[in-house]
């Protein structure tokens, strides 16, 4: 299978994965479905990056989904409901918190049932309002980190809940500030900075969340150098869940499109985050995170520093920044597979862009791989 940016989808391509979409109610396109013009229009209207389709040139590639589409859909609906309830009544009912706790447990058991926990960010991007999608992504990334750090299931459930609700305090922040397309003024930023404590205090009143869950929510914007908020805590003073959520939160936020900027590529964000260890992030947690995410997911086209376009075949768990890639001849025929991590001959070769970047979508290679004959 191969990841195709949404603008390159053509009728006749066969979906290689289920896709949720929401236009007047949630529906599902299922794996194996042949794309028709109206499906493609809907996928384009969803503003998603792209989808995986079947492809002969990459028939040997396997994509492990971290979450089933069913769970993903259930999580998004529950998060949306609890945020809406909270925004209407300014308090959380026992029933609403009970439902979201239940869904957090399902999310954890779905992740734990997977043989390999390596997150492809594309899987978590997409088809819903940013706030809900971001809550889901942060919870999944946090749980993946928690698994690598050896947390037990009860703690993972608490951590997932902390991730799903980490930004619930934002319902009290005016929409004009939250969605402002330019830089916030100092006063506006002060308003935004209230959301961790606001969420913490209101959830505490519900008496339904564990202390670790609440502390994670309150401290997800602290930085290890003491320059975060609200309490300017340093290093290990920052609750453990808060340090995990900080990593998950920043990674998802920087890779997402926002009103004021385009999302960056996972590889770029990972490099930025590695440069901020011991400034913003806890070293041990960042290391666990790096083992949990695929910077360049399998099935993704990437550009290489020698100008060639290649397809990611699989990830090396020891170093997810240097996967095994398949390079092609000019006419799109397969040339060879290169292991960027284990094969010393290629250590100078780097990945310079991925999937939906201009250097790839403008290349003749993209047109070659998207020839319809390749899919049928």
Q: Specify the residue, 209 or 370, whose C-beta has the smaller distance to Fe ion.
A: 209
- Least gap, CB of 221 to Fe ion (angstroms): 6
Nearer to Fe ion, 19 or 100 (CB): 100
Least separation in angstroms between residue 198's CB and Fe ion is: 11
Helix axes 130-148, 153-165, angle to 10 degrees: 160
Q: What is the closest distance, in whole angstroms, from the C-beta atom of residue 195 to Fe ion in the complex?
A: 6
Helix (H, G, I), strand (E, B) or coil at 309: strand
CB closer to Fe ion out of 43 and 245: 245
32: DSSP letter: T
Cα three-residue angle 340-344-347, rounded to 5 degrees: 55
- Specify the pairing of strand 2-5 against strand 309-316: unpaired
162, 212 contact by CB (below 8 A): yes
Rank residues 48 and 138 by Cβ distance to Fe ion and give the closer one: 138
Minimum distance from CB of 166 to Fe ion (Å)? 6
Our CA dihedral for 131, 286, 229, 142, rounded to 10 degrees, sits at: 40
Return the number of the residue (110 or 167) whose C-beta is nearest Fe ion: 167
**Residue 323 CB contacts under 8 Å (≥ 6 apart), including other chains:** 294, 296, 298, 312, 313, 314, 315, 316, 340, 341
CA 233/CA 104 separation, integer angstroms: 27
Please state, in angstroms and as integers, the Cα–Cα distance from residue 172 to each residue in 86, 91, 168, 269, 369, following that order.
Answer: 9, 11, 8, 29, 47
CB closer to Fe ion out of 74 and 167:
167
Q: Which is nearer to Fe ion, 117 or 285 (CB)?
A: 285
Which residues contact Fe ion (rule: CB under 5 A)?
167
Nearer to Fe ion, 158 or 162 (CB): 162
Residue of this chain nearest to Fe ion (CB atom): 167
The residue among 345, 295, 347 whose CA lies nearest residue 317 is: 295
Q: Whose CA is closest to 62, among 109, 114, 7?
A: 114
Residue 373: partners with Cβ closer than 8 Å, 6 or more residues away: none
Q: In angstroms, rounded to a whole number, what is the distance separating the alpha carbons of residues 178 and 369?
A: 40
């Amino acid at each position: 299978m191969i990841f195709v940016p949404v603008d390159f989808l053509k009728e006749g391509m066969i979906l290689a994965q289920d896709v949720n979409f929401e236009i007047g109610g949630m529906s599902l396109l299922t794996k194996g479905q042949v794309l028709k013009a109206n499906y493609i229009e809907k996928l384009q209207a969803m503003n998603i990056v792209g989808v995986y389709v079947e492809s002969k040139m990459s028939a040997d590639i396997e994509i492990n989904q971290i979450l089933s589409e069913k769970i993903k859909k259930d999580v998004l609906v529950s998060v949306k409901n609890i945020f809406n309830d909270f925004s209407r009544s300014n308090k959380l009912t026992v029933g609403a918190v009970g439902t979201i706790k239940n869904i957090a447990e399902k999310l954890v058991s779905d992740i734990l049932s997977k043989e390999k926990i390596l997150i492809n960010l594309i899987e978590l991007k997409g088809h819903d309002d940013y706030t809900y999608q971001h809550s889901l992504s942060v919870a999944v990334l946090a749980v993946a980190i928690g698994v690598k750090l050896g947390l037990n299931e009860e703690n993972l459930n608490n951590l997932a809940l902390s991730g799903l609700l980490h930004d619930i305090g934002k319902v009290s922040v005016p929409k004009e500030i939250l969605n402002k397309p330019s830089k916030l003024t100092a006063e506006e930023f002060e308003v935004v900075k209230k959301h961790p404590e606001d969420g913490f205090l209101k959830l505490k009143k519900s008496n339904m969340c564990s202390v670790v869950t609440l502390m994670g929510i309150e401290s997800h914007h602290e930085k290890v150098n003491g320059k975060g908020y609200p309490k300017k805590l340093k290093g290990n003073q920052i609750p453990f869940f808060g340090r995990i959520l900080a990593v998950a939160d920043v990674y998802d936020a920087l890779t997402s499109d926002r009103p004021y900027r385009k999302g960056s590529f996972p590889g770029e964000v990972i490099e930025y985050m590695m440069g901020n260890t011991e400034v913003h992030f806890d070293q041990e947690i960042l290391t666990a995170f790096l083992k949990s995410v695929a910077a360049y997911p399998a099935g993704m086209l990437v550009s290489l520093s020698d100008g060639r376009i290649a397809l990611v075949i699989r990830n090396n768990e020891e170093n997810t920044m240097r996967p095994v890639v398949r390079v092609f001849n000019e006419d799109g025929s397969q040339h060879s597979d290169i292991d960027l991590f284990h094969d010393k001959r290629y250590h100078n070769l780097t990945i310079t862009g991925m999937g939906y970047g201009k250097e790839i979508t403008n290349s003749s290679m993209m047109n070659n791989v998207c020839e319809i004959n390749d899919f049928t």
